[in-house]
Structure 1
Amino acid sequence: MARSSVELVSYGWDPIDRQGLILGYKAAKKIPENTVFEVAHKCRAQHLDAVEARFSETHKALMAPRLMAAVQRCLEGKNIPVTGREKNPSDLLAVVPKGQIMDLLDCVHQNANNLYPGVPIEFP
């Protein structure tokens, strides 16, 4: 990557499920965006994808505890009952009624942005 003038930006483990790293890539100098994407894709494929896949096979998805607690409080504030036993995104999706999925998305994104400012979060 250094030869291509593309820098890796690591945001750490994904707080949504803690099964993958959140990585970004930026150009150290003016190069086309598609070149940055190609370099990033090649790097991930060669060095990270297999590691992340193996990690997720051997570790259960677990939302960061502070984020889960904040999401549960947010859902309760929207009169969406939670059990308090939710541990991961699948658990949340299972307890939230289908008609209130947008409320779940709002709770996750709002609290993730508050707890992890500047970190690009994807859910679901």
Structure 2
Amino acid sequence: MVTRTRLSIPVLLAVLSLTACGNQSTDDSGDEKFVAAGTSQQQSIIAAGPVGKVEYEAAVERVRSCLRDRGITLTNEGWDPVRQLGMQLYYSSPGMADDELIRLSDQCRKAHLDAIEDSYQLHRKPEMDPKLHRALITCLGQRGISMTNASTDASKFAEAIPGTKTEELASCVNEVSARLYPSMQQVSF
């Protein structure tokens, strides 16, 4: 299974050009048209107003369909509970080379999600899932670390932990996330 990471444009272009050289069946002009059509659709959605969860989730479903057409399974673990600025998406395709999996998943994301996600994040502040926030405050309180009035912004929350107690935060994140989000592969600050 490959976890999706966003590549910079120069790195992405290099990866795409190298993969295209290694796979003669790749039709670059078709890929470019496909991505351009999807990007145009994203721009229309963004132009209609601020992107909300409904538009974001619909874009993820378009990515799922795109990936399915290419033999790739999308696992959507839901909204990232730490920042709630995106969904935790993982891609897999048994037997497919990782570089091909990355190329195709990046292509589908670029065509259907990346601009939507950027717009969604631009209009929101990072904020922890309220259940996670309460559970972390409780867990830390049981360990003698008072977090009353703690920020719901994960970065500010972590900064409020005394320097000698950061291991307690990591322990609470692991304990609480295993209980609240048992099917998620990873929850981290």
TM-score range, shorter chain: 0.7 to 0.9
Q: Please identify which structure carries the higher strand content.
A: 1
Matched residues in 1 for 2:103 and 2:164: separation?
Answer: 39
Q: Secondary structure at the match of 2:83?
A: coil
User: Shift in Å at residue 91 of structure 1?
Assistant: 2.6
2:34 aligned residue: none
Q: Secondary structure at the match of 1:111?
A: helix
1:34 aligned residue: 99
1:45 aligned residue: 110
Mark the runs of 5 or more structure 2 residues left unpaired by the alignment.
1-66
Matched residues in 2 for 1:7 and 1:82: separation?
Answer: 40
Q: Give the aligned length.
A: 123
2:81 aligned residue: 15
1:111 aligned residue: 176
8 Å CA contact 1:20, 1:52 repeated in 2: yes
Q: Which amino acid aligns with 1:45?
A: K
Matched residues in 1 for 2:143 and 2:115: separation?
Answer: 39
Structure 2 counterparts to residues 1-124 of structure 1, below 5 A = 1-27=67-93, 29-124=94-189
Mark the runs of 5 or more structure 1 residues left unpaired by the alignment.
none
Q: Which amino acid aligns with 2:75?
A: V
**Sequence identity percentage:** 26
Structure 2 CA distance for partners of 1:101 and 1:45, relative to 1, 3 Å? farther
8 Å CA contact 2:173, 2:187 repeated in 1: no
Q: Which amino acid aligns with 1:119?
A: M
| Displaced runs of 4 or more, over 6 A | none
Q: Which amino acid aligns with 1:65?
A: P
TM-score by length of 1: 0.85
Say what the alpha-carbon RMSD is for the aligned residues.
1.8
8 Å CA contact 1:22, 1:120 repeated in 2: no
Q: Please identify which structure carries the higher helix content.
A: 2
Structure 2 CA distance for partners of 1:122 and 1:42, relative to 1, 3 Å? farther
User: Shift in Å at residue 47 of structure 1?
Assistant: 2.3
Q: Secondary structure at the match of 2:113?
A: helix
